[in-house]
Amino acid sequence: MFVGQKGHCCAPPRTESNNRSMADTIQPRSKNRSTKGMILIPGDEFLMGTEDGEGYHSDGEGPVRRVQLDSYYIDVCAVTNTQFAQFVKSTSYKTEAETFGWSFVFHSLVPARVAGSVNKAVFETPWWWQVVGACWRRPEGPNTNVVKRPNHPVVHVSWNDAVAYCQWAGKRLATEAEWEYAARGGLVQMRYPWGDELTPGDLHRCNIWQGQFPNNNTGEDGYIGMAPARSFPPNDFGLYNMSGNVWEWCSDWFCTTNRSTDLQENPTGPATGTARSMRGGSYLCHSSYCNRYRVASRSSNTPDSSTGNLGFRCVRDA
């Protein structure tokens, strides 16, 4: 049985709503104002966006425009299972995947003992299965866990969940501009955080799909699914996995039009919208259908949606 809207290759959206946002009820509770595990990104001007022929014009990647940012701190890697567990223990927070009772999991990662009970997939992207019981604690469904994955990025976390975590930790989500500038690592208009070549010296620099999507992942980069949050060499700012591994929520509402080429100072995106921006691509991205692991790439999802390839990292004002 197929469910959901027209298929979304990156991360499918929910089609129902629970009409509540727990993010609105969580106040900052962490008294630790340490920037441990964060990197200071000095304020500067950079060229945001791309007009690269390999990009997706319809995603609003261009035009290239000048952006001025104030200084800020950013997590060196995505928020991990261990960090999210501390938040849940402190607040008794229940994620939206747990409230809905299910989340989206990539078909080949669902264990055989769980697969037999799955009867819903996403229209036009049937590799996305709606798995009852899947959530951050049980990323592939019932009887799976994260015990041996404490340093992996937490996934099955909605935008609302991510904001709740940030509020508890005294942090926030990055704007798209902050995220892209950090991902570039000081490089100017390069395709990836390390340059223009995907595998320089035949070395893999990120966790994406190799092989024939969606049924044969050869794992040439060392991973079939998710990698630990601090995998592969960091970029020149010291940040890990800004390309591939898991998509990362940003604070902005998603919009693909009205891009000004005038200098923008600390842009925060449109005032309203229906979907929130995501950046970075994931372990499911492949050049044959979705090369959104480039630093200028963009995607989006509804604020209550969650999948097995969608996480987040935090920033803090300097």
In 3D, which of 165, 4, 154 has the Cα closest to residue 79?
Answer: 154
**For residues 9 and 290, what is the distance between their CA atoms, to the nearest angstrom?**
7
Neighbours of 265 (CB within 10 A): 11
Residue 45's pLDDT is 98
Q: Give the pLDDT score at 41.
A: 98
Please compute, for residue 44, the number of CA atoms within 13 A of its CA located in the half-sphere on the CB side: 14
Of 3.90.600.10, 3.90.1580.10, 3.40.50.150, 3.90.380.10, the CATH number of 44-317 is 3.90.1580.10
Give the contacts of 36 (CB within 8 A, at least 6 positions apart). none
Taking the C-alpha atoms of residue 304 and residue 18, their distance in angstroms, rounded to an integer, is 8
- Higher pLDDT: 270 or 8? It is 270
The answer, as to whether pTM is greater than 0.75, is yes
Q: What is the mean pLDDT of the chain?
A: 92
Encode pLDDT of 184-240 as tens digits. Answer: 999 999 999 999 999 999 999 999 999 999 999 999 999 999 999 999 999 999 999
Distance of alpha carbon 176 from alpha carbon 82, whole angstroms = 26
Given this model, what pLDDT does residue 14 score?
81
Closest by Cα among 297, 166, 182, 196 to 244: 297
Q: Residue 8 — very low, low, confident or very high, per pLDDT cuts 50/70/90? A: low
pLDDT of 161:
98
Q: State which H helix or E strand residue 40 sits in.
A: strand 38-41
Q: Does the pLDDT value for residue 155 go beyond 70?
A: yes
Name the strand (E) or helix (H) holding 126.
strand 125-132
Residue 305, helix vs strand vs coil? coil
**Residue closest to 127 by CA, chosen among 286, 18, 316:** 286
